[in-house]
Chain A
Amino acid sequence: MRTRLHVGDDTPHGAEVEAHVETLAAATGLDRSETYRLRLAAEEIVTNVALHGYHSGRGVVDLESGTEDGLVWLRIEDDAPRFDPRSHPGARSRPDPASATRPGGFGLFLAMTCVDDFHYEYHGGRNRCTLRLRPGGRS
């Protein structure tokens, strides 16, 4: 399944991210909590790309998803400058609330925390983040 998002400061993307994840969840049997976590992780990555990758200008973000080896995956690709979200200081440890009011403070941390595996690569001149969930993995 594929969805192309056209992001920008005046172009909300939340509903399209939600629709993609809900369709994926229905097809793969993700439960309510898993669906929410995958949606939240995807929303945070797409928002980060829109705000910081494209600097609130117009840009394209592609969503693609499927299943493999018992895992549900969602891939997010963009054409912004190369950026590995895992390299952000707040990505792996919970940001201090005093600094978390800055954009990106909580978002990347939530994205990393909500999924069972987060992979990044720079592929074909694009940033590619792949989020993976194992259904039932946290129940």
Chain B
Amino acid sequence: MSLDVRTTVADGVATLVLVGTVDSASARTLDERIVAATDQPVSRLVLVLDELTFLSSAGLRSLLYAHQRLGRGVHIELVNARPEVAETIRMTGFDQSVTLLDGPRDPRA
């Protein structure tokens, strides 16, 4: 399964809903969507991961690129990651650079 990304930008918050898989073939799509969504100034980048079934190192690199490019002024939140995806993020220590959130949540709140 490839990757589908639904993007909304409102009130300084860029929200991307990821559906499918992020691997070496689809990571470029994620890069492009993050760049497009943060083309205008935002204070938060929210990635909704309920329907993300697989995240490889290529996808982690996409998140790292975003973290480095956006800088400390932009908070990155990963919402509702599946246990396996969250574990992958923790294995690499990237959970120290972003916020992992669970449960229903209005990303604009």
B99 within 8 A of A: no
Interface of A is mostly: helix
**Number of chain A residues whose Cβ lies closer than 8 Å to a Cβ of chain B:** 29
Residue of B nearest to A14 (CB): B23
Do A33 and B84 form a contact, CB below 8 Å, given A18-B54, A97-B97, A101-B64?
Answer: yes
Interface residues on B, range: 20 to 34
Whether the Cβ atoms of A97 and B64 lie closer than 8 Å is yes
Residue of B nearest to A109 (CB): B92
B27 to chain A, nearest CB (A): 10
Do A101 and B61 form a contact, CB below 8 Å, given A15-B1, A106-B92, A110-B92?
Answer: yes
Q: Which residues of A contact B (CB under 8 A)?
A: 12-15, 18, 32-33, 36-37, 39-40, 43-44, 47, 50-51, 94-95, 97, 100-101, 103, 105-107, 109-110, 113-114
